[in-house]
Amino acid sequence: MHAALQNPWQLVIQSQLVGSGHVECAAVLRRRDGALKATSLAYQPSEELLRAISVAVSDPASAREHGVQFNGASYTCVRADQWAIYGKKKTGGFVAAVSGQFIVFGSYSSTMSPAVCAECVEMLAEYFTKKGK
């Protein structure tokens, strides 16, 4: 195991998301308050990103209509519903999938497959849902 992995959540994020080769960086947020539970190695999401994702998940209709903005970038929502938010811009995008207690966030670059990123992120959220989390 990598020495920098501080908790089991990081191992899951690294192996299941970043390890796919189609998730650039990832995070797990607590759904009720947007608090950060864990991130991929060396990834430090901004407070603005955490807030924007939490707001988009709580109001997908607004996210779909207005898009999602954080870190100086504007993302067009190509999917926004009670289960997931997909945002894209010219050079990449993100997927945020929801379980009962958590939001799983993953970003992808222009050289990665958005569909594989979505599959990985949604599978982890589904796993949490099946575990009652």
The CATH number covering residue 119 comes to 3.30.450.30
Q: Per-residue pLDDT tens for 79-97? A: 999 999 999 999 999 999 9
Q: Per-residue pLDDT tens for 64-82? A: 999 999 989 999 999 999 9
The amino acid at 102: F
Paired sense of beta strands 92-98 and 84-89, if any: antiparallel
pLDDT at 3: 46
In a domain, 53, yes or no: yes
Angle (CA) 124-78-45 rounded to 5° is: 55
Closest C-alpha among 107, 121, 111, 93 to residue 16: 121
In a domain, 29, yes or no: yes
Q: In the sheet where 25-30 sits, what is the strand order?
A: 36-39, 25-30, 102-109, 92-98, 84-89, 73-80, 68-70
What's this model's pTM, rounded to 2 decimal places? 0.93
pLDDT at 7: 80
Angle (CA) 83-128-31 rounded to 5° is: 60
In a domain, 2, yes or no: no
For 35, the domain range is: 8-130
In a domain, 52, yes or no: yes
In a domain, 113, yes or no: yes
In a domain, 3, yes or no: no
Q: Which residues of the chain have pLDDT under 50?
A: 1-3
